[in-house]
Amino acid sequence: MSYSDLFLSGDLFGTLENQKRSVRDYVQNLSAEQIRASSPEQIIEHVVNKLSIEPLKLYRDRAQKSLTETTVETRDWFRYGMNEGETIRVPGVGVTVRVPYTGEPQLLRLQGSLVPSERMSADVSDPVDGIGSITLNFKFAQEGLTEDRVKQTIDQRLNSIEQHINGQSGLLDQYQRELTRIAQEAVHRRTEQLGGLHALAKALDIPIVKRPGTPTFEPIPVVRRAPKELPPVADNQQSTGFAISDDAYLNILRAIRAQGRTFEKAPQTFHQFEEEQLRDTILANLNTHFEGGATGETFRAKGKTDICIEQENRAAFIGECKVWSGSQELVDGLRQLLGYLTWRDCKTALIVFNKDRAKFSELLDKAPEALRKLPELFVSERKQDEPGEWQMRFRSLEDARRIVTVQLMLYNIYARSQ
């Protein structure tokens, strides 16, 4: 899209006030079925995530520039010996600057606390995977043109855009602080309203009938916005290796989790599977989801038990499957997993199946504790919402400065003998 006038097409303060009212309207329009299917905390978190506004951020160090020959219209009668007021075209240079940005693109239209002193035009692309671009076009007459003049003109324009972005920050910070409070009040009011309706229906002995065509709702999903990472600034250093993105890693874990829960729902069926058969079942499910997809690679077995995705003969993801046979065997499995990895930022999963212990809850304590008690390897742990899972970071066996992420995932396929 093309924005002819950056920061001149609306008022940010008024827009945010309207957005606050839309929070109340959004909650008020949630159906009784949606409210009953979700806890107040779920609804509040859902509303806050849905109606949050991500501030703009420019990444000037990732800017791409190109140069072309062109002609420039000028009225410089003093330089070119023209009649005063006459317009002619002279040889020129066109410079295009493309700057990545993150955040809400509509903010580029809205005026914050700073009033624009000049009209600024740009071509703006909407974000893809969280990253968009602002393209600025400049034209200069070739005669007498210097590198410093081009650089100064570009810097002045980018400085001006960043000043306007900074002028929005106070209003956006205030909106974000108030958003949770407004959502809480709106959910409380809607819940009370529905409670009164149900009390009246109960007193009158009248059943509340759903409107025709009203769907049955699952709990409202909470979509968390993950920050997007831009590629690093290009340099002449050799790459340290291939690493899958955080989003791809999460998708892989979701697919493994879904298969693991399928195992748990039918323990009589899967209890008889050996370690390698369990691995192959997960492997087949992963390739159904990912082959030719976002990862662009095919999962395959490497060695006896691990699941591997590679690029240029280097593992980007490894999943090691183990049947629980004790804490020491689990530690050995971790060391085996770390032994595969010789480059930074590798993401992995250690998938453990319980086939023989009736008291699965004991394993939920023993397994993560066994890995935490490795001071020479254990670095940190991130809290997980998924039961039976722990995300830990360990030092590589080869290089202590390299950190490996390990998702420990436990599944219970114990089946009591008949």
Q: What are the sequence ranges of the domains in the chain?
A: 2-180, 246-412
For residues 140 and 97, give the distance between their C-alpha atoms in angstroms, rounded to a whole number: 14
Give pLDDT, residue 408. Answer: 95
Is the per-residue pLDDT at 128 higher than 60? Answer: yes
Mean pLDDT lowest among 104-108, 149-153, 343-347: 343-347
Is the per-residue pLDDT at 191 higher than 70? Answer: yes
For residues 118 and 227, give the distance between their C-alpha atoms in angstroms, rounded to a whole number: 32
For residues 225 and 103, give the distance between their C-alpha atoms in angstroms, rounded to a whole number: 11
CB atoms < 10 A from the CB of 78, how many?
8
The alpha helices in 240-326, defined as continuous H runs, are 246-265, 267-270, 275-290
Question: What's the rounded mean pLDDT across residues 357-367?
Answer: 89
Q: Tell me the pLDDT of the chain averaged across its residues.
A: 77
- Please tell me the number of Cα atoms within 13 Å of 25 on its side-chain side: 7
Give pLDDT, residue 239. Answer: 35
pTM for the predicted model, two decimal places: 0.47
Higher-confidence residue of 75 and 145: namely 145
pLDDT digits (tens, 9 = 90+) for 280-291: 888 877 776 655
Model confidence at 222, in pLDDT bands (50, 70, 90)? very low
Give pLDDT, residue 303. Answer: 56
Give pLDDT, residue 388. Answer: 92
Model confidence at 153, in pLDDT bands (50, 70, 90)? very high
Is the per-residue pLDDT at 111 higher than 70? Answer: yes
Q: What angle do CA 227, 259, 373 make, to 5 degrees?
A: 70
For residues 238 and 342, give the distance between their C-alpha atoms in angstroms, rounded to a whole number: 15
